Amino acid sequence: MNVLTHFLAGWALSLPPDLERRDRALIVFASVAPDLDAVVLVGDLARGRALDDCVLFATYHHVLGHNILFAALTVFGCVLLARRKALVGGLSLLAIHLHFLCDIVGSRGPDGSQWAIPYLLPFSKAWNPAVGWQWALNAWPNIVFTIALLALALYAAWTRGCSPVGLFSERADRALVSTLRHRFGNPHQRLVTRS
């Protein structure tokens, strides 16, 4: 799936516990980190290759960052930097495996090529989970999933006062929350009024 979907999925996973901004950012990072292996595309473009002839990208994307060693290193790094280490470690592990799962079911290429995850690399090439019914990267289930995650992020911003925008700018986060509460009312005042 695309990076935006992975980003929003990581944010959704970071919502349940009462985490600090940094810990949420680490979980979101774990959710998008496997796609850092797409950076090899720069090497293809630097060599003047056309987009349909990107050998490095075809060889290493969905390989270098989509395996158990990369997952373990990412989670280890998140735990080192986290304040609530056990919780962030568990949710980072979940986030990175949700990324793998989303790629397995919804990342078929425009030319019909199918991605498998070389999960056990670099220790073994024995298990490459894939499904025969993998749908395309731009298929409707991916769009629906992304819209649902976006709606959840906006709802959480309205009710809890924090959004994924806050990972980049606290000021922009406050502006978004303020706009939502100006438009839909203050959710906490509503609860008080009802009770």
Residues near Zn ion (CB under 5 A) are 34-35, 103
Closest approach of Cβ 103 to Zn ion, in Å?
4
Closest approach of Cβ 60 to Zn ion, in Å?
12
Rounded to 5°, angle at Cα 60 from 57 and 65: 120
Q: Which residue is associated with the tokens 């978004």?
A: 176
Between 35 and 44, whose beta carbon lies closer to Zn ion?
Answer: 35
Between 34 and 118, whose beta carbon lies closer to Zn ion?
Answer: 34
Between 23 and 103, whose beta carbon lies closer to Zn ion?
Answer: 103
Distance from the Cα of residue 147 to its chain's centroid: 14
Q: Which residue is associated with the tokens 């991605």?
A: 115
Between 23 and 37, whose beta carbon lies closer to Zn ion?
Answer: 37
Closest approach of Cβ 194 to Zn ion, in Å?
43
Closest approach of Cβ 62 to Zn ion, in Å?
6
Q: How many CA atoms lie within 13 A of 134 on its CB side?
A: 24
Looking at 47-169, list the stretches that DSSP marks H as alpha helix, in order from N- to C-terminal side.
55-60, 68-81, 85-106, 140-160
